[in-house]
Chains A and B, each alone.
Chain A
């Protein structure tokens, strides 16, 4: 079983960049691999409760649906604590599935993974 890490640094101001980690993560899990998404910098805004519901691009379904599919498939979500401070978002406002983590976790996930993709 391989491990893939996706790093999401983009926020809701570039909605077209937000779908890929969820879709790829769910695909990875469905192929028997482990997938994790680490949200940092503006990326943490994506996992603020209620935000994914507001994002939609073209004919794509609302981001919330794609996120739910990924979470249900077993994609792990990590949220950079320092980024939540940087943007002034209280920690209790994030999706409950998200694990608040920091630099040691991001580096550890990257070293454990066979591939790291950044969006």
Chain B
């Protein structure tokens, strides 16, 4: 069985604050192929709401989200 959440690329946004996590996520998602997953780690508490809304607005799909000890991890599938 293929693990659909294996990231093709990873982005470290730890230590970065608004609007950097959004700006870098947008830049990095364009570096994976449509259908592939980008893993993003951030510790900006605003990123949980911001990246969720960015994904919804841009149409990309958050296939998994984890929050552990202040680190937010998003697995985002590029859709377009």
The verdict on B35 contacting chain A, using a C-beta distance below 8 Å, is: no
A95 at the binding interface (Cβ < 8 Å): no
Our pick among A85, A101, A108, A111 for the contact of B17 (Cβ within 8 Å) is A85
A82-B17 contact in complex given A100-B45, A102-B44, C-beta closer than 8 Å = yes
The answer to whether A81 and B19 touch (CB under 8 A), given A102-B46, A105-B46, A105-B53, is no
A100→B46 contact, CB < 8 A = yes
Assess whether A91 is interfacial by the CB under 8 Å rule. Answer: yes
Q: How many angstroms between the C-alpha atoms of A111 and B53 in the bound complex?
A: 11
Considering only CB atoms and an 8 Å cut-off, how many residues of chain A contact the other chain? 15
Q: Mark A71-108, 1 if CB is under 8 A from B, else 0.
A: 00000001011100100000100000001111111001
Residues of B within 8 A of A82 (CB): 17-18, 46
**Residue contact A101 to B49, C-beta cutoff 8 Å:** yes
Report the minimum CB–CB distance from A89 to chain B (whole Å): 13
Known A-B contacts A81-B17, A81-B18, A82-B18; the reply to A102 vs B47 at CB < 8 A is yes
Contact A103 B49 (CB under 8 A): no
Q: Which of A85, A91, A101, A111 contacts B50 (CB 8 A)?
A: A101
B residues with a Cβ closer than 8 A to A are 17-19, 22, 44-51, 53-54, 56-57
Beyond the given A99-B49, A102-B22, could you list 13 further A-B residue pairs with CB under 8 A, ordered by the A residue number? A81-B44, A82-B18, A91-B45, A100-B49, A101-B50, A102-B49, A103-B18, A103-B19, A104-B50, A104-B54, A105-B46, A105-B49, A105-B53
